[in-house]
Structure 1
Amino acid sequence: MLTMTGVEVGYGRTAVVHGVTVEVPADGVVAVLGHNGAGKTTLLRAAVGVLPTRAGRILLGGEDVTGMPPHQRVRRGLAYVPQGQQSFGQLTTLENLQVVADTRRGGGKALIDEALDVFPALAGLLGRRAGLLSGGQRQQLAIARALITQPRMLVLDEPTEGIQPSVVAEIEQAILALTRRGGLSVLLVEQHVGFALDAADRYYVLASGRVTAEGRGGAASVIDVRSAMAI
């Protein structure tokens, strides 16, 4: 679904990501792990078109999108949930969802209902301002908004950052349920190794902007990943 081959990205004269290759299969979950400053978020920004690549190619569903701006990638089925549990704080939960649903052709209410089926806790918070929600609730709202765009490729940057463990588990189960029913692939950047490997079919470890380890997901890989991150 998403293939990044030999991707190089940077800011100004500073190179941050050096020749990274990552592949996300159809209906699969891939985790990119690493410490702060490893280049994880920079890699995601290149995937969604926020940052231009200096070298390499990015394919979405087999189509070369390397030079496409973000809005064209969105039209092709890519959705991005950045760090920070972002929402419109002065709008209610329902209004946050409606803003996105209004951009879709028909079926806005049905799309909201589908998103609430994934995160049922939000159903009881529709009249509450997003700025008054907890961090975990805002993160669920951010992912729900992305799902309303009906993506085939969902890109998540640190979805568990600063969130209580019970909500982390809910987000993990939602991701797994979405991919199991088909039609959605996920690229996940995480520092929470246990969560990432439980959710992912495959992982990549980044250090100083380079892939230093990769392998299959699952709890059995936790020791290998932590060893790779300790180097």
Structure 2
Amino acid sequence: MLRLRNLTCGYGRSAVVHGIDLEVGTDEVVAVMGHNGAGKTTLLRAVVGLIPVMSGTIELDGEQINRNPTNKRVKAGMAYVPQGQQCFAHLTAGENLRLVADGRKNGKALIDAQLDLFPALQTLLGRQAGLLSGGQRQQLAIARALITEPRLLILDEPTEGIQPNVVAEIESTIVDLSSRGGLSVLLVEQHLGFALQAASRYSVLRSGRVASSGGTGAGAAVRVREAMAI
């Protein structure tokens, strides 16, 4: 579904990511790992069109999308949940969901589907989003993204600063969604156990380059730790 070929990107004239090759197949979860400053978020921002590509290509369903604006990529089936449990803090949780669902023919059904995925939100719909815990805000952010009915969900550090029980819930939801079919996931994550459990393949970035990649089966944890060692 998503294919990056020799991708270089960054800010201004400064490249942060250098010559990355990466693929996310249909209904597949792929994890990108690495220390802070490795280029993970920069990579995602290039994929969704928030920063330009310096060289290389980004393909979605075989079509090169390097020059496509972010809104066109969203219409093509991308959804991006940035780092930091972002939401409209002064709106209620329910209003955050309705803001995305409004104008869609099946808006109510889409909201109901997300409340089934994240039942903890059901009792929080009337509460201001800014007053939710970090884990609750993250579930809300993912639910908002899923209302757009994406085919590719892009998650940046979804477990950062979140209590362990909610991490387990988010992991279970991601695995469940991809196993149902119709959704691929590109996941940036520093939580090693979460990433290797949720994904079928991984890539480790170090200084903007791929230091290791492969399947998440036996021996993957050792390879990841070695690649992340400084």
Tell me the TM-score normalized by structure 2. 0.98
Q: Which amino acid aligns with 2:50?
A: V
Cα distance in 2 for residues equivalent to 1:163 and 1:57? 34
The within-5 A match list for 1:48-197 is 48-104=48-104, 106-197=105-196
Query: Which blocks of at least 5 consecutive residues in structure 1 are unaligned?
Result: none
TM-superposed CA distance for 1:220, in Å, is 4.0
Cα distance in 1 for residues equivalent to 2:115 and 2:225? 35
Q: Secondary structure at the match of 2:53?
A: coil
Tell me, yes or no, if the aligned pair for 1:96 and 1:145 is still in contact at 8 Å: yes
Q: Which amino acid aligns with 2:122?
A: A
* CA deviation profile, 1:169-215 (whole Å, cap 9, x unmatched): 00000000000000000000011111001000100000000001001
Q: Which amino acid aligns with 1:99?
A: L
Percent sequence identity is 67
Residue equivalent to 1:20: 20
CA pair 56-103 structure 1, distance change in 2 beyond 3 A: farther
State which drifts further: 25-34 or 213-222. 213-222
Cα distance in 2 for residues equivalent to 1:103 and 1:217? 40
Q: Secondary structure at the match of 2:87?
A: coil
Calculate the aligned-residue CA RMSD, in Å: 0.9
Structure 1 segments (4+ residues) deviating >2 Å: none
Q: Which amino acid aligns with 2:118?
A: F
TM-superposed CA distance for 1:219, in Å, is 6.3
* CA deviation profile, 1:16-59 (whole Å, cap 9, x unmatched): 00010110000000000000000000000000000110101111
Cα distance in 1 for residues equivalent to 2:102 and 2:63? 27
TM-superposed CA distance for 1:3, in Å, is 0.5
Q: Which amino acid aligns with 2:143?
A: A
Q: Secondary structure at the match of 2:91?
A: coil
CA pair 66-103 structure 1, distance change in 2 beyond 3 A: farther
Query: Which blocks of at least 5 consecutive residues in structure 2 are unaligned?
Result: none
Q: Which amino acid aligns with 1:216?
A: G
* CA deviation profile, 1:107-135 (whole Å, cap 9, x unmatched): 11000001111111101111111011000
Aligned residues: 230
TM-superposed CA distance for 1:13, in Å, is 2.0
Tell me the TM-score normalized by structure 1. 0.98
TM-superposed CA distance for 1:223, in Å, is 1.5
Cα distance in 2 for residues equivalent to 1:202 and 1:126? 35
